[in-house]
A and B are shown apart, each in its own frame.
Chain A
Amino acid sequence: MTRAIWTLFKKDLLLEVRQQYSFYGILLYAVSTLFVLYLSMDTPEPRVWNGLFWIIQLFICTNAVAKGFLQESRGRWLYYYTLAHPITIVLAKLLFNVLLMAAMSLISLVLFRLFLGAPYLHAMGFLGIVLLGGISLSLVFTFLAAIAAKAQQNAAILAILGFPLILPQLILLQQIADTQFRVGSGVDWVTVGLLLALDGLVVILATVLFPFIWKE
């Protein structure tokens, strides 16, 4: 089981390394979105900065995660069908997207730091929250991408399905991140715990529900 997940994960990683256009595509998307923001406003207030940051994360995540399932052709699904258990496939995808989104989160944090300043007070604390946020977003969107792929839809349906569903997590993330912008307020561990619990729930649901959608 672990080996199967590892192999599938390595396959995705290898694909990413060989077809670098997709990685650079997302990167270009992040940079150009940020540059548009940079040109359309001066250095924003902390609250606005925080809001913008998470919205950009959301858009990057939709783009980064979308192709994970959507790139798989019908023929390749049939091939997987003979090889692997659905649970290993979905876990490998989740793992890969978590790593991809963590990397993307870090890059966009650096870009935000350079273009729009650094209104947060605790760099390390905020970094941790950004990673947590990237992971939470990617988990939900990975499963929704599976649904979108199986509905034979394009990435547009992913945004339609995902944006309402991710809102509660986004609000929680903004609340946790907000503590890093004010003097004298530590990390809100209860909310972090709630968010982690939600993440766990998403993983469990994905493993339970994916076997139902993967068969044709």
Chain B
Amino acid sequence: MPAVPRYMYRSWWKITGIILLTYTFTAGLLGPVPKLPLLQETIRNLYFHVCMWFGMMILFTVSVVQAIRYLNSMDRRHDLASRHFAGVGMLFGLLGYATGAIWAAYTWADPNVSFADSFSTIARDPKLIGAAISLLVYFAYLVLRDSIPDIDRRARISAVYNIFAYVILFPAIWILPRVLESLHPGQDGNPALDVKNDISSDMRLVFYPAVIGWTLLGVWIATLRIRMESIKEKQLAS
């Protein structure tokens, strides 16, 4: 097993990520935000909740690209990368789901009703359905992966499932909100694009750096896990 790609050892992008996240936490919690009815100060959650989704999408996309590269080259490094980028994508997805569901419980639903009671109503929202489906699909990916003992077969089959799932899943998730009713902003189309209309320019100054910062953090976690795994494999081989 050859060494991991060089960019994983570089520190400039990790430092950038830390700086951007420090900025996100200070400017995000202290900076000016529009006072919208219902949302009020909770709108600051945008810097955390929405960024989780962006991060998840980006990490899953990296994962599927690595899966395609694995099938092209049959190089195990791409398989390892595909697995761990998907894993961190799922972590972001879970955090995004949690931050979104709690946020919705206080803004869409009656804040006086407990979160557990309003959850069944909130979870019916198309965006949350889409999120839950994608998490389930990637959990299935992990189950499939771990169920195959042979290393090469595992890599090949999970890469195929990864590509199949990604290509079926994401168009379907974009279609769902058009078919079902939703309270979520960005109703007509990509949930990301409403950022242009719905939030003030002050917020955008924090939001875009936050997306980059969180994504870099995700990449960092993934690369650490990839490096750990390749060390483990090296020890097994020697």
Contacts and interface: CB of A to CB of B under 8 A. Distances in A.
Interface in A60-91: none
Interface in A28-45: none
Nearest to B152: A216
Interface string B163-198: 111011101110110011000000000000000000
Contacts of B136: 163-164, 167
B179 A191 contact: yes
Contacts of A175: 179-180
Q: A-side binding surface: helix, strand, loop or mixed? A: helix
Contact of A161 (B144, B159, B163, B172): B144
A213 B160 contact: yes
Interface in A170-196: 171-172, 175, 191, 194
Interface in B65-123: 71
Contacts of B159: 212
Chain A interface bracket (under 10, 10 to 19, 20 to 34, 35 or more): 20 to 34
A147 B159 CA distance: 11
Contacts of B172: 168-169, 172, 198
Contacts of B148: 151-153
B156 A212 contact: yes
A209 B168 CA distance: 13
A165 B180 contact: no
Interface in A108-128: none
Contacts, number: 84
A51 B79 CA distance: 39
A163 to B, nearest CB: 8
B71 A212 contact: yes
Given A151-B147, A171-B179, A160 B140 contact: yes
Given A147-B161, A152-B148, A171-B180, A165 B140 contact: yes
B163 A151 contact: no
A202 B168 contact: yes
25 contacts: A140-B168, A144-B164, A147-B161, A151-B148, A157-B144, A160-B143, A161-B140, A161-B143, A164-B136, A164-B140, A165-B165, A167-B133, A168-B175, A168-B176, A171-B180, A172-B176, A175-B179, A175-B180, A201-B167, A205-B167, A209-B160, A209-B163, A209-B164, A212-B71, A213-B157
Interface of A: 140, 143-144, 147, 150-153, 157, 160-161, 163-165, 167-169, 171-172, 175, 191, 194, 198, 201-202, 205, 209, 212-213
Given A147-B157, A212-B71, 20 more contacts: A140-B168, A147-B144, A147-B164, A150-B153, A151-B147, A151-B153, A161-B143, A165-B165, A167-B129, A167-B133, A168-B168, A168-B175, A172-B172, A175-B180, A198-B168, A198-B172, A201-B168, A202-B168, A205-B164, A213-B156
